[in-house]
Amino acid sequence: MLTPKLTVSKVCPANPVPPGGLLAFTGIVSNAGTVTITNVTVVNNQPTNGTPLIGPITLVPAQTASFGGSYTTPFESCGPWVDTLTAHGNATCTGAGVNATLTSVCPTSTTPGLSANALCPSGPVPLGQPILLSGTVSNSGNATLTNVTIVINQPSNNTPVFGPISLARGEIANFVASYVPPIDSCQTISTSILTVRANSGCSGANVAVGITNSCPVVTAPRLWLVKHCPANAVLPGGILTFTGTVSNSGNVTLTNVFVVNNQPSNNTPVLGPITLAPGAATNFTGSYAVCPECCGPYLDTLSASASDRCTGSNVATTATASCAGVTTPAVAVTKDCSPGSAILGQPLVFSGIVSNSGNVALNNVLITDNKAGFIAQIQAFAPGETFSYVASYTPTNCGPNIASTITVTGTDACAGAPITNSLTTGCAVACSAPQPVLILNPRLLGGFCVFSFLTQTGHVYTVQFTPSLSVINWQLLTNLTGDGSTIQIQDPNPPTQPQRFYRVLVQ
């Protein structure tokens, strides 16, 4: 009996093939029947259905034919690699179709791999500020990676940075890790270790890689200085009391912290030496006497200096403040008449003192009188300074109180504000020259000396006595102003000497 029959066999590669690799195989197709088979072909379903491997050929009974084939395994697959070979032909006697199939499994080979890198910042990072590590992680193996995570050992072990994510073969992901190096540590290099972990998406095997970074760090010493003026404006010559705060705004302890002022002289001590930890602050107070001639506002500059405890480097800062000043300008004036009475038609002489009674210098001080006119001008008049003047004018009327007004004007040397003061006083002016006194009726009355004389209006009469003419010692008995009447004088004390002499002075 004639029996048509085909068989097919396949041999996998000697070594497992990775995803994306070339899988090259060999095979044999044979006529295992008792009849010749024509149009024999062998096809594969990889990489696509019907991929030809051999044929058409004719195989007589027991005849075999070798063939080979290859295809690229799927890159995104894990394997193993399964394909199906199909042999087909026709029996020569009947023409009937003859078929044979073979499904085989070839082993795979996956090697999960990680690659990672990270870069420090381009320049040194101040202690206490974040160090940013920029990096990439990539799948350098031939299997998809799952549960990709990154941790860092700063500030403590296994601090999360990135993930979990999955990475296909060849895929790259960017990441940024950051941590803060401790302040006041004096380190110059900060070392961190990044650990990247993942699992093979094919086998589940673990894979890990570590990255060590040593980044330069620096101290950043910094001082902050604030000055506050007094709440109230300060008078020239007064005490200006200020307050302030010095603080460490850097990242390292500062030693030998000093604060000095440029008033009343350079480097006047205010505070120090002290030590300030990062973030610490200290309040202080200082004062100085404002010079009496100075005008506000009062400007002075505080200077703070210190040393970095780690490097010894110096750090300094300044604070300047303009504190308000206040002035109380004032001028005082006095006026005194000459002794006795002036005479109508003759000069009336008067004098006085002008003084700067305020706390600020005055400029262009002008002294005038409404009858005497210009008296004097003082270009600069310091506080407390005095000026004596003498002036005169010829009166045009007479009487016991002929008034004139003296006026003093000036300018505040600080504020430029005008200042003025005036004083009106009267002096006696006799209407005519005094006539000699004629003593009337000198006598003793009740043991007292009594006499009288005729007065003239506007004149001043001074009555004196002396006990002896050989040794003259005139003594005041009384003063009076004449009114045109007869004045009676009585010595209020009985004489103890045998004689007593009197005289009357007329002005």
Report the CATH number at residue 254.
2.60.40.10
Which of 443 and 142 is assigned the larger pLDDT? Answer: 142
Residue 435 lies in a domain: no
| pLDDT of 342 above 90 | no
Lowest pLDDT segment from 58-72, 131-145, 372-386, 468-482:
468-482
Q: Which of 32, 94, 93, 98 is nearest to 65 (CA)?
A: 32
Is residue 171 domain-shared with residue 141, that is, in the same domain?
Answer: yes
pLDDT band at 433 (very low <50, low <70, confident <90, very high): low
Distances (CA, A) of 70 to 7, 44, 55, 495: 20, 10, 16, 167
pLDDT band at 495 (very low <50, low <70, confident <90, very high): low
Q: How many domains does the chain have?
A: 5
Is residue 417 domain-shared with residue 447, that is, in the same domain?
Answer: no
The residue-averaged pLDDT of 411-433 equals 88
3 state DSSP class of 341: coil
Rounded Cα gap, residues 482 and 426, in angstroms = 17
Is residue 231 domain-shared with residue 318, that is, in the same domain?
Answer: yes
Over residues 34-82, the pLDDT tens digits come to: 999 999 999 999 999 999 999 999 999 999 999 999 999 998 888 899 9
Is residue 266 domain-shared with residue 300, that is, in the same domain?
Answer: yes
**Residues facing 246 on adjacent strands:** 225, 282
Q: Which two tokens stand for residue 256?
A: 């030998």
Residue 311 lies in a domain: yes
| pLDDT of 434 above 70 | no
Over residues 142-176, the pLDDT tens digits come to: 899 999 999 999 999 999 999 999 999 999 999 99
| pLDDT of 438 above 80 | no
Q: Counting every residue, how long is the chain? A: 507
Residue 49 lies in a domain: yes
Domain boundary at 170, 200, 218, which?
218
Strands (E), 127-218: 131-139, 145-152, 159-167, 172-179, 189-200, 206-218
Q: What pTM, to 2 d.p., does this model score?
A: 0.58
Residue 490 lies in a domain: yes
Rounded Cα gap, residues 115 and 148, in angstroms = 12
Is residue 162 domain-shared with residue 124, that is, in the same domain?
Answer: yes
Is residue 124 domain-shared with residue 95, that is, in the same domain?
Answer: no
Residue 98 lies in a domain: yes
Residue 89 lies in a domain: yes
Q: Which residue has the tokens 């600080």?
A: 414
Q: Which of 409, 404, 401 is nearest to 354 (CA)?
A: 409
Is residue 118 domain-shared with residue 213, that is, in the same domain?
Answer: yes
| pLDDT of 493 above 80 | no
Q: Which two tokens stand for residue 315?
A: 């750090």
Is residue 297 domain-shared with residue 372, that is, in the same domain?
Answer: no
Domain that residue 402 falls in: 331-430
| pLDDT of 439 above 80 | no
Residue 1 lies in a domain: no
Domain boundary at 298, 323, 348, which?
323
Return the CATH number at 469: 2.60.40
Domain boundary at 291, 323, 355, which?
323
Is residue 211 domain-shared with residue 248, that is, in the same domain?
Answer: no
365 Cα distance to chain centroid: 46
Is residue 130 domain-shared with residue 87, that is, in the same domain?
Answer: no
Residue 416 lies in a domain: yes
Is residue 121 domain-shared with residue 213, that is, in the same domain?
Answer: yes
Is residue 413 domain-shared with residue 460, that is, in the same domain?
Answer: no
Lowest pLDDT segment from 81-85, 110-114, 274-278:
110-114
